[in-house]
Chain A
């Protein structure tokens, strides 16, 4: 079967750095997405990786290793507004997105 694993919940301190991991087993791979979802709101796109390596976008970076079936989202200089759920999703061989259950990130002052 197809499976996406990510931690259920993480806690970090304002101003710090946090890394949210995602491992996947899917039938085929056509890229990996990260989305942010604040409570009661729509998921919003953060990043897309299809080749191995690190993609940096401001305070957020996303890394992909296809051989290991592994990705992480790195958030730097954490702010209180970064408190949200972070969803990992893989595009499979049919270009259908397979979603993880999300990681709830709690930021403490």
Chain B
């Protein structure tokens, strides 16, 4: 049990659908992250939230829209995705972000997304 949960675990969606991924952390952390993991590629950081404020957005297409309503919850809203967006989407949290220190990240199990 990592303390970070993600739903759904698997998602198949058409290119015209709208869906949302949900992440919840039970660790009392202040920072949350969305990553994309494709086969044999490095983890790609998509978004970082610190104390519910977005602090990083690594040139992610607008068809991905994050939302952080509070420090425990993080959403990734998806619309008009492309087949190349098929990947494992991982959520993570850490005690803090930046602040002069590097922090261990705790990951959720991921959502396996397939875009048809």
Instruction: Write out the residue numbers on chain B whose beta carbons fall within 8 Å of the beta carbon of A96.
Output: 45, 48, 56
Bound CA span A41–B97, Å: 24
CB distance from A46 to the nearest CB of B (A): 10
Q: Once the chains bind, are A95 and B43 in contact (CB under 8 Å)?
A: no
Bound CA span A76–B48, Å: 35
Bound CA span A42–B43, Å: 12
Q: Once the chains bind, are B102 and A48 in contact (CB under 8 Å)?
A: yes
The reply on A106 being an interface residue by CB < 8 A is no
Bound CA span A31–B104, Å: 10
- Of all chain A residues, the one with the shortest Cβ separation from B2 is A42
Q: Once the chains bind, are B42 and A45 in contact (CB under 8 Å)?
A: no
- Of all chain A residues, the one with the shortest Cβ separation from B91 is A42
The reply on A101 being an interface residue by CB < 8 A is yes
Instruction: Write out the residue numbers on chain A whose beta carbons fall within 8 Å of the beta carbon of B69.
Output: none
Q: Once the chains bind, are A43 and B90 in contact (CB under 8 Å)?
A: yes
Instruction: Write out the residue numbers on chain B whose beta carbons fall within 8 Å of the beta carbon of A4.
Output: 42
Q: Once the chains bind, are B104 and A45 in contact (CB under 8 Å)?
A: yes
- Of all chain B residues, the one with the shortest Cβ separation from A90 is B102
Bound CA span A49–B109, Å: 25
Q: Once the chains bind, are A95 and B102 in contact (CB under 8 Å)?
A: yes
Q: If A96-B45, A96-B56 touch, does A30 touch B102 (CB 8 Å cutoff)? A: yes
Q: If A42-B2, A44-B2 touch, does A97 touch B45 (CB 8 Å cutoff)? A: yes
Chain B: residues with CB nearer than 8 A to chain A?
A: 2, 4, 40-43, 45, 48, 56, 90, 97-99, 101-102, 104-110
Inter-chain pairs besides A30-B101, A44-B2, A97-B45, 16 sampled, C-beta below 8 Å: A4-B42, A30-B102, A33-B104, A43-B43, A44-B107, A45-B105, A48-B102, A48-B104, A95-B101, A96-B56, A98-B42, A99-B43, A100-B42, A101-B41, A101-B42, A102-B42
Chain A: residues with CB nearer than 8 A to chain B?
A: 4, 8, 30-31, 33, 41-45, 48, 50, 87, 89, 91, 94-102
